[in-house]
Amino acid sequence: MPVSPIDQQVSVDSTPHASARFNRLGSFFARPWLGVLSRSLAAIFGGYALAATCSMFFAVALPIARGQAVLTGMLVAIVLCACAALWAFATRTALRAWVGILIPTALFWLGTRLLQGAA
């Protein structure tokens, strides 16, 4: 009589203590409040970093008077900070929220450094 695949269950993990520890750690990170905390930190600190680098970039990049460039950068930064907070809670995962905020922040910072070196 042939044996069905359901009857042939094989234990994948040979160390039961490691799997119990992994299950406890996995269940800790599966808690919903950690996702909310991570998104909140991304919105607050990531949004602030995005706004600061955006303001620096516009102050250096715009070919207008320095005072006007700084004010324009600050106004755009306020809008981007609000958009970062919206983005942090609109994405599917907290990791995507962090990545979506940190990549533009890094690009603004890199652009500012390149333009300061050229000036």
3-state secondary structure of 13: coil
pLDDT of residue 64: 93
Residue 35's pLDDT is what? 85
pTM > 0.85: no
User: What does the pLDDT look like over 35-81, one tens digit per residue?
Assistant: 899 999 999 999 999 999 999 999 999 999 999 999 999 999 999 99
- The pLDDT of residue 31 is above 70: yes
Tell me how many helices (H) and strands (E) the chain has: 5, 0
Handedness of CA 99, 105, 108, 110 (dihedral sign): negative
Distance CA 66, CA 69 (A): 5
